[in-house]
Structure 1
Amino acid sequence: MSVTSWPGLVDLQVNGFGGFDVNADDVTPDTIVALTRALWREGVTTYLPTVITASEEKIAHALETIALARQIDPLIARSIAGIHIEGPSLSADDGPRGAHDAAQLRDPSVDELTQWQNAAPGLVRIVTLAPERARSLEYITAAAARGIRVSIGHCAPDTERIREAVAAGASLSTHLGNGVHRELPRHPNHLWAQLAADELTAMFIADGHHLPADTLTAMIRAKGVQRSILTSDSAALAGSPPGRYATPVGGVVIVAEDGRLSLGDTGLLAGSGASLRHCVEWALAHLPFTEDDVLAMASRNPARMLRIDPSGDRVDVALDHGRVIIHRVTVGGNVVCEQ
């Protein structure tokens, strides 16, 4: 097998991986450090730990913990380019809400945003919200003015609200095609509106479970490769053997033989069981895009969205009958993984 060098993978939505949970009640800086090192072994050199809907106190604790983890090692700090907060201002409807705790949903508050940035100084880079919630447009404007990307997700707005959110400064869509009602009007609906908005870059989960290949292909073609980003949305159970697990997010989660994570017996997805490496692997096998296009969506595009320079971050890989095998990972010119 020949070895080729790829840019480091950049994941904008990581809830956990390999048993390490960003949203656990007992999360510590060591948890975040171990998560980062586990992601290095998957070729992910930059990522945003993703804090989901919870009480103000729990979100603040997670933010403080991530900030402390970055102080342990400069390479950890380089890899954690910021924080993505998914919630708590999401739709309360079943389906769009996903696995988020309905009891902790609330309207967006600029004061709470300020508290977040104080808890993890300047680290909040993306906030996902449902734009139909009260005061969301004022919040989007305020967040964008602070350089924070506001992403539309876990929502059920009408198409006019999408246009208003874009005008206010929203610039991303979170896992477009997921976190929505099981059935939508043929047209108009908010998915079409987000696909049509050139101002929105769309994040897609390419794990083979969240979106069928033909759907994802059509969505990427609608947005264009340059406005598309592949993300994992990986959960702590990613990589776990099949079974039923009790989790702090969503309660009982079932890990299927094929790695699909389901919320109890509802059949609803509970995040992804795949790393971004696995998503790239699946995309190369199932989507009609070139290797360069797939790597742009999994590396260069998200790096540009974060306004970071990932030069010095490389992943040496071999492709073996559709499998992506990691040989060496370099972060900031330093080898952090060889296997």
Structure 2
Amino acid sequence: MPVGEPVSVKGKHYRTGQPVEITMEDGRITGVLPWTADKPADDIPWIGPGLVDLQLNGYRAMDFNAHPIPSGTTHNVTRALWNEGVTAYYPTVITGSDERIASAVAAIASEAEEDPVTKSCVAGIHLEGPFISPEDGARGAHDKAYVKAPDWDLMQRWQEAARGLIRIVTVSPEWPEAPDFIRRCADAGIVVSVGHTNATPEQIRSAAEAGATMVTHFGNGAHPVLPRHPNYLWEQLASDPLWACVIADGFHLPDAVLKVVRKVKEERMLLVSDAVSLSGMPPGAYDMPVGGQVVLTEEGRLHLAHDPRLLAGSAQLLPWGISHLIRKGICDLADAWDAASVHPAAKLGLPSAKGLQAGAPADVAVMEWDGRFLRPAAVYKAGVKRYG
């Protein structure tokens, strides 16, 4: 279907619950019109904005941290994500050698540039490390050998390799070099996200004053035991400038923590998947480049084979997280959907932050809710049906 061809889709508006017809043309929503349904409301799917994932490491055995990244990975992940309702995302490159990071961001950017469809979905690259804490626990699964202090000259070289596509960088403010680095990133339009940190409360506050505005997977990539208070988790919650990303798969954070983050941050709580390459794969035992022997359970939990208590990453995409928030009563459907679409788009300055309204990008997801899970039934990118 050509991009400019008029198209319409019907469903229940995700915020009002009212039946609507969304009309789209030339990549934009042209109308949100009342629709008289000819079937019971329970039989009508929900319709809302396409999902935006700020942190995705891989999907269906495709890995943005493979070295080298196989040709076609960015194209193929982009298209595979449509069946999860994702219409924009940030391929995430984690801590590694200078050369591996340069190679990875260059490969992602090259494929985004060579194909307009891929480019329309890859909203940027998230560089998660290597400017993080070297401390065990806070460092998570990142390789300590490559952790280092923030280095603006190195960041510029990576940004050049990425053709300017690095839009998010995760940084620990514990380094003396952090405030100046954060200011430079903020001035360059790069969102600085505090994460994998052992920073003091004072260092967290200094980071926010320097221009940090987000937290990477709040409550994860953290020490298993912390002082009651003060500690960096309280400080991140208390900092108004910091939007908090959370992994709401039901395994990474207790429901009580998700509930507190939601109450404190409200619309500044953002859902991310942080999915690794085993997301979308069947349950079983696997051998991973990072983590080694791991097990993906029938319940969807990914853990180290030698110690089931330790997670080996996330294996679930955004619809799973939305569903978890709804089931647990932490958010209603509308607010959970927004936390995975409109709000992350707003944080990163994407046009899709307009949601479902005339003039907004025609990035639309039709979802079915069975009382436990929200599942995509159809997905449109720039008004073109890409799934369903």
Give the TM interval when normalised to the shorter protein. over 0.9
Give 1:228's match in structure 2, choosing from 269, 275, 298: 269
Match of 2:285 in 1: 244
Given residue 324 of structure 1, which amino acid in structure 2 is its aligned partner?
A: L
Q: Which residue of 1 aligns with 2:328?
A: 286
* Distance in 2 of aligned mates of 1:9 and 1:296: 9
SS at match of 1:157: coil
Matched, 1:324 2:379: no
Aligned pairs (5 A) from 1:209-220:
209-220=251-262
- TM-score (norm. length: structure 1): 0.96
The structure 1 residue matched to 2:365, chosen from 312, 315, 324, is 315
CA distance, structure 2, for counterparts of residue 44 and residue 131 of structure 1: 31
Partner of 1:21: 63
| Contact 2:294/2:305, CA 8 A, preserved across alignment | yes
Q: Look up the SS of the partner of 1:45 in the other structure.
A: strand
Aligned counterparts, 1:90-239, within 5 A: 90-224=132-266, 226-239=267-280
Shift of 1:17: 1.2
Does 1:254 pair with 2:295?
yes
CA distance in 2, matches of 1:87, 1:287: 34
* 3-state SS of paired residue (1:71): helix
How far, CA to CA, are the matches of 1:327 and 1:93 in structure 2?
44
Q: State which of 55, 66, 83 in structure 2 corresponds to 1:41.
A: 83
The residue number in structure 1 matching 2:131 is 89
**How many Å separate the matches in 2 of 1:122 and 1:305?**
18
Q: Which one of the candidate residues 303, 306, 330 is aligned to 2:348? A: 306
Q: 1:222-271 CA deviation, whole Å, 9 max, x = no partner?
A: 112x1110000000011323333222223333222322222453433222
Partner residue, 1:10: 52
* Runs of 4+ displaced beyond 3 Å: none
Q: 1:134 to 1:246 in 2, by over 3 A?
A: farther
| Cα drift, residue 29 of structure 1 | 4.1
Following superposition, the deviation at residue 72 of structure 1 comes to 3.5
Q: CA deviation at 1:290?
A: 1.7
User: How many residues are matched?
Assistant: 337
Residue 3 of structure 1, CA deviation: 1.4
Q: Distance in 2 between matches of 1:271 and 1:13?
A: 12
The separation in 1 between residues aligned to 2:156 and 2:176, in whole angstroms, is: 18
Whichever of the two has the greater Rg, that structure is 2
AA aligned to 2:191 is R
- Structure 1 CA distance, aligned partners of 2:138 and 2:55? 17
CA distance in 1, matches of 2:316, 2:286: 17
- The percentage of aligned residue pairs carrying the same residue is 44
Matches of 2:223 and 2:156, distance apart in 1: 31
Match of 2:23 in 1: none
Q: Does 1:32 align with 2:74?
A: yes
Instruction: Please give the alpha-carbon distance, in whole angstroms, between the structure 1 residues aligned to 2:45 and 2:71.
Output: 34
Question: Is the Cα–Cα contact under 8 Å of residues 244 and 269 in structure 2 kept in the other structure?
Answer: yes
Structure 2-normalised TM-score?
0.84
Checking the alignment, whether the CA contact within 8 Å between 2:125 and 2:165 is kept in structure 1 is yes
**What pairs up with 1:51-90 in 2 under 5 angstroms?**
51-90=93-132
* Paired residue secondary structure (2:225): coil
Structure 1 residue 69: Cα displacement: 1.4
Residue segments in structure 2 that go unaligned for 5+ positions in a row? 1-42, 353-360
Contact 1:44 / 1:277 at 8 angstroms: preserved in 2? no
Cα pair 2:275 2:317 within 8 Å, conserved: yes
- Asked if the contact 1:9–1:298 (Cα under 8 Å) also holds between the matched residues in 2, the reply is yes
CA distance in 2, matches of 1:265, 1:172: 33
Residue 179 of structure 1 and its aligned partner are, at CA, apart by: 0.7
Q: Distance in 2 between matches of 1:303 and 1:100?
A: 27
Aligned-residue offset at 1:65: 0.8
Residues in 2 aligned to 1:93 and 1:218: alpha-carbon distance in whole angstroms: 26
Alignment RMSD: 1.3
Matched letter for residue 235 of structure 1: V
Q: Residue 69 of structure 2: SS of its match in structure 1?
A: coil
Checking the alignment, whether the CA contact within 8 Å between 2:168 and 2:190 is kept in structure 1 is yes
